[in-house]
Each structure stands twice: as structure tokens, then as C-alpha cells.
Amino acid sequence: MNFLLSLIVWLPLLGALVVLFAPGLSDHTAKRVALVWSLAVFVLSLPLIPGLGVFDGARAELQLVERVPWISAFGVDYFLAVDGISIWLVLLTTFLTPITILSTFDAINTRVRAFEAFMLALQTGMLGVFLAQDLFLFYIFWEFTLVPMYFLIGIWGGARRIYATVKFFLYTFAASVLMLLAIIALYVLWGQNSFSLPDMVQAIRNNQFVLDQNLGRWLFLAFFAAFAVKVPLWPFHSWLPDAHTEAPTPGSVILAGVLLKLGGYGFIRFNLQLFPEASRFFAPAIGVLAVIGIIYGAWIAYAQTDIKKLVAYSSVSHMGFVVLGIFALNPIGIHGAILQMVNHGISTGALFLIVGMIYERRHSREIDAFGGLWRVMPVYTFLSLLIIMSSIGLPALNGFVGEATIMFGTFSSPFLGWEFAAFGLIGVILAAVYLLWMFRRVMMGDVTEATAKMRDISRLELSMLIPLVALILLIGLYPTPFFRAMNESVTALANGLGPVLAAR
């Protein structure tokens, strides 16, 4: 089974080619082929669930390692592996993609085959980012994700799609180039003719590879730039609302659901592992940015009139929690951050789905265009309420587990402390304000002439939301298996950050 990871990574790309080039494929069947294909990938990834024998959650080190020399002149390896940090993000990706493709059934009607192909290709890129353990390979996958997303927004987007895509592309690309520089710098400085991340981390921990303090901080910032833009951390967020508003529903779902997590994952995998000293040094400053982002995103979300923009800004707020948890630099915070990434993928992905559903019916995303949906679409509203509550962070649903864990980590972190937790909690209050405000105006209230004709959720839409809602409840009530699988890896990571942090 040692090629399982490769299979999961490359199968979607193959699917993309099939969808794109298979002769005589109608739009209708292309959607189904893509769905079945992504479901197959999901099924293939199922054995990875910790406890099923393939992946062992009780081990800290990388598992299912595939390592083949690739460009031997520069020591580049084809190096895939998974550990407790990435396992849930991989599963999140394989889980969300079929749902996203399902959402194209209603949302996409032009150039369907290309769209499905881009979706599948994007999946390859995202999985590659989570699984690559070679800096060079990682960078390739990292940039590769940009391309399909660029087209997904640029071709199927709304009126200002060109502006949004160019902004999205340039913003993320410019920041990634800094990361490339840092990667090359590390390669040269290390001088072992290898891009292997685990080896490099090992060398750093054994003091075989000692970075100059100042240089380490600069390199940290170069990596940080790439990930901060992706997350997006305040004040690097301004591409996100534009991209989200212009993207078609499936694009938004995958963007919020998985792509933003690449940044958070990058922080954990690269910044924390490669630069322990710089991480400690910058943690408070980044914590401040994260807290500002939490409150700022929430506050600004309240003033939006476009539902999608509201959700987009809520992403800024929620991803602030993730960054806060990561830079608490203690096991609790990182546990929470990883779970919160999964949670955010599920909840915000679902939020974009529900926004897309009413957009399909009403062809408007203005909050004022709706009202009284609770009456005409009871099932839809019930599910929406659950999802909104999960986003608000209601206990017993998934959002709370992640946010609370992050808060515990933040509060007890020697680098952050109670002020950060207190301001973060203000963000939790504000989440209730803007989401309930939206709920009040869209779902509650009197039915208008325009909304009266809106039909309730269809079976297709139900099949998208049910798995998400099930996970929302599962993680909310029993997140322990999720935490346990990452426990060892996260503890090892935190131990690498310095002796102070191992205690809490």
C-alpha cells in the first residue's frame, strides 16, 4: 500500500484529463464522471482514517513515506508522507471535493467539462501541498493550486471577475515568490544538497544546521508572507472578499474550505518547524495581527449587504483564530488550530453552499432581497441555522470545540496570554452579532412576494449538506478521535519549539 498517497494525489489529475479530453462527453455526464471520480478518491483516502490500520494516530513521525530521487542534481526528492498534522486536512480535502463537485450540478452550466477538470486538478494541487515533504516539491504544488483557481474565478466568476482574479493571483503569487527565495536560501545555507523538510528539521533540532538569528527571522518572514496572504491574516486579507464575491459557488466553497487552510498548514509545518527561535520571537506580534483580524473581520462583516461578502469577512475573522492558536506555540493551541481549520472548512464551506442555494433561486445575494425564508424553506433554514450556529461557535457543534481549544491554548501560552484570549473572545461575541443579524434579515421576517416562490431544499442540495451537518455534530460532540490522531505529532512539534512549551 505504499503508493496510496501518490494514488490519492495523482488520481484527480488523471480524472481532470479524462473529463477534459474524453471524446463525446456531454456536460451532463461530465459532471457525473467528475463526481464519481472524486468519490473514488475519497473512498481511496478512507483507509487513512486513523485506527483503520493504515495510518497510526499514536505515532508522531511521518507515515506512508514515499521517497524517490527526482532531480538528483539538486537533491530534489519526490517525497510524500503524512502525519498527525496533515492527516485531517488531507481527509478534509478528499471529503470536500465531491461535495463541491456536487454543487456544480446546479451552479455551473457553461464550459462544464473545463470546470470539472479544473476542480479535479485543484484537488491534486491541494493534496500535494499537504503531503509533500520536500520543500521544492511543496513549492511546485503550492503554486500549482493557483492555476486552476485563477481560471475558476476568471472564467466562471461574476461581473468583476478579472479584477478579482488578477488581484488574487498577483497577491498570492508575489508572496509565494518570497517563500521560494527562502526555500532556496535554506537549501544553499544547509549545503546538504537536499530539500527534504524532515531532514532539515532534524538537523535544526540537533543543532547541526544553525541559522544565524537575524537571517532566521528574515527567512521566517519570507515564509510567513506566503502563508499570511493565503490564510489570509489581517492586513493581507483584501484579496479574499473580492475573490469570494466573484467566484462561483463551488469555487468559493473550495477556496474557503481548503485553500485557506494551506496557509495555516504552512505556518505549522514550515514556520514553526524550521524557525523555532523566530517563531517565539514573532509570536506576540503575529498574535496581535490575528486578534485584530478576528475583531476587524467580524466587525466589517456586520456592515455587509452582500451575504457572500459577509461570509468572506467572517472567514477572515475565523482564520484569525487559527493563526492565534498556532502562534500560541503550545500543544493545546496547535491542536485547536488544526481542528479549527477542519471546522472552518466544513462550516464555511457549508455557509457558501447555502448562500449559493438561495442565489440559484433568487439570483441575488443582497440581504435585503430576502426575508421570511424560515417559512417558505423550513428544512433549508433548519440546516442553515445549524451551520450558522456552528460558525458562531455554539457548544456541541464543531466550531466551539476548535475555538475553545484555541482559547485555552492562547490563554495559557507564555507568548500570548489572557489579553489575546479576551480579545479573541470579543470576536466570538461579534460572530453572533453579524451572523444572527444576517439570519434575522434573511430567514426571519415576513415572506415577500419574491421569496414566496422559493422552493425548499432539493434532494441534491440535501445530499451536499447532510454529510457536512453530520460532521458538524460529530466533531462537536466527540472530537476526541480527531485530537488523538494529531496528539503525538503536535506534541513532538511543540517539543521542537523549545523546552518551555512542552509543559503546557
Q: Which stretch binds other proteins (CB under 8 A): 15-23, 96-104, 205-213, 441-449?
A: 441-449
Q: Which stretch binds other proteins (CB under 8 A): 108-116, 175-183, 213-221, 478-486?
A: 478-486
Of the pair 100, 304, the CB lying nearest other proteins is at 304
Q: What span, in angstroms and rounded, lies between the C-alpha atoms of 199 and 197?
A: 5
Interface residue with other proteins among 187, 227, 380, 400 (CB under 8 A) is 400
CB of 461 to other proteins, least distance (A): 18
Q: Which stretch binds other proteins (CB under 8 A): 61-69, 244-252, 465-473, 485-493?
A: 485-493
235-264: which residues touch other proteins (CB under 8 A)?
235, 237-239
Q: What span, in angstroms and rounded, lies between the C-alpha atoms of 171 and 296?
A: 20
- Residue 75 grid coordinates: 537533491
Q: What span, in angstroms and rounded, lies between the C-alpha atoms of 416 and 413?
A: 5
Cβ atoms of 79 and 109 closer than 8 Å: no
Query: What are the backbone angles phi and psi of residue 36, rounded to the nearest 5°?
Result: -60, -40
Q: How many CA atoms lie within 13 A of 342 on its CB side?
A: 30
- Does residue 428 bind other proteins (CB under 8 A)? yes
- Does residue 204 bind other proteins (CB under 8 A)? no
Over the window 351 to 390, marking each residue x when it contacts other proteins by CB under 8 A and - when it does not, the resulting string is: ---------------------x-xx-------------x-
Q: Which stretch binds other proteins (CB under 8 A): 16-24, 105-113, 209-217, 444-452?
A: 444-452
Q: What span, in angstroms and rounded, lies between the C-alpha atoms of 123 and 146?
A: 11
Of the pair 107, 493, the CB lying nearest other proteins is at 493
Cβ atoms of 265 and 323 closer than 8 Å: no
Cα 49–chain centre separation: 19
CB of 218 to other proteins, least distance (A): 20
- Does residue 470 bind other proteins (CB under 8 A)? no
Interface residue with other proteins among 140, 426, 462, 473 (CB under 8 A) is 426
327-346: which residues touch other proteins (CB under 8 A)?
330-332, 335-336, 339
- Residue 246 grid coordinates: 466573484
Q: At what angle do helices 459-477 and 398-412 cross, to 10 degrees?
A: 40
CB of 34 to other proteins, least distance (A): 32
Cβ atoms of 339 and 408 closer than 8 Å: no
Is 283 strand, coil or helix? helix
Q: At what angle do helices 213-230 and 161-190 cross, to 10 degrees?
A: 150
Of the pair 39, 432, the CB lying nearest other proteins is at 432
CB of 337 to other proteins, least distance (A): 10
Number of Cβ within 10 Å of residue 137's Cβ equals: 23
Q: What span, in angstroms and rounded, lies between the C-alpha atoms of 175 and 180?
A: 9
Please tell me the count of residues contacting other proteins according to CB under 8 A.
62
Cβ atoms of 313 and 405 closer than 8 Å: no
Cβ atoms of 305 and 422 closer than 8 Å: no
DSSP state of 132: B
**What is the amino acid identity at position 260?**
L
Q: How many CA atoms lie within 13 A of 100 on its CB side?
A: 35
Q: Which stretch binds other proteins (CB under 8 A): 92-100, 266-274, 351-359, 479-487?
A: 479-487
Interface residue with other proteins among 136, 141, 296, 321 (CB under 8 A) is 296
Over the window 62 to 81, marking each residue x when it contacts other proteins by CB under 8 A and - when it does not, the resulting string is: --------------------
CB of 239 to other proteins, least distance (A): 8
CA dihedral of 466, 124, 169, 226, whole degrees rounded to 10: 100
**What is the amino acid identity at position 283?**
A
Q: What span, in angstroms and rounded, lies between the C-alpha atoms of 331 and 327?
A: 10
CB of 407 to other proteins, least distance (A): 6
- Does residue 319 bind other proteins (CB under 8 A)? no
CB of 213 to other proteins, least distance (A): 29
- Does residue 422 bind other proteins (CB under 8 A)? yes
List residues near other proteins by CB under 8 A. 167, 170-171, 235, 237-239, 296, 299-300, 302-304, 330-332, 335-336, 339, 372, 374-375, 389, 394-396, 400-401, 404-405, 407-409, 411-412, 418, 421-422, 425-426, 428-429, 432-433, 436-437, 440, 443-446, 477-480, 483-484, 487, 490-491, 494, 504
